[in-house]
């Protein structure tokens, strides 16, 4: 019980997180390749709708550490698949991909999943879940994956907002 209260994710090792993210990366790459091969005659809007429905399901991603290096591998695979699916040149800048496809960048999607999960835990009626979430986010911070994800999401969102307002 003390181990669980110390950190919400003490039981999730870094190795497990790496394997889970890389497994998801391989799954996304395979699904995107299947879409490209199976629906090559369809218009781009149909392909994007299919991609959104079948390739962008990141259940369990709220448990990932967003500062983990494997998140970049997943994002790269997602962007490459998106370029290929839409028939865009490989040199299309990654910042332009999401707006061209009327989507949020993958990093923001993952941040939204994490933020919703954290909010649900913070307002939970279960005292143990509520305590563990508060401890991870507000006190453990960089010592817990949940705290690192909160820091990572907050820093990136503040940075993007200051760029947009400038």
Mind listing the pLDDT tens digit for each residue in 129-143?
A: 889 888 888 887 777
pLDDT-based confidence at residue 127 (cuts at 50, 70, 90): very high
**Would the CA dihedral through 133, 139, 142, 143 be positive or negative?**
negative
Query: Alpha-carbon distance 6 to 119, whole Å?
Result: 19
Residue 111 reports pLDDT greater than 80 = yes
Residue 25 reports pLDDT greater than 60 = yes
Nearest one of 81, 62, 82, 68 to 18, comparing CA atoms:
68
């Amino acid at each position: 019980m003390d181990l669980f209260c110390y950190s919400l994710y003490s039981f999730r090792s870094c190795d497990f997180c790496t394997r889970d993210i890389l497994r998801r990366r391989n799954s996304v790459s395979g699904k995107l390749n299947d879409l490209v091969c199976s629906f090559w005659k369809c218009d781009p809007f149909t392909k994007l709708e299919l991609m959104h429905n079948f390739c962008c399901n990141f259940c369990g991603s709220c448990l990932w550490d967003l500062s983990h290096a494997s998140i970049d591998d997943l994002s790269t695979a997602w962007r490459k698949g998106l370029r290929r699916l839409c028939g865009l040149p490989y040199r299309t800048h990654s910042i332009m991909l999401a707006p061209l496809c009327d989507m949020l960048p993958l990093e923001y999607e993952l941040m939204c999943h994490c933020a919703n999960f954290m909010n649900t835990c913070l307002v939970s009626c279960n005292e143990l879940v509520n305590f563990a979430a508060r401890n991870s986010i507000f006190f453990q911070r960089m010592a817990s994956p949940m705290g690192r994800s909160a820091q990572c999401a907050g820093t990136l969102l503040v940075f993007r907002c200051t760029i947009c307002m400038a």
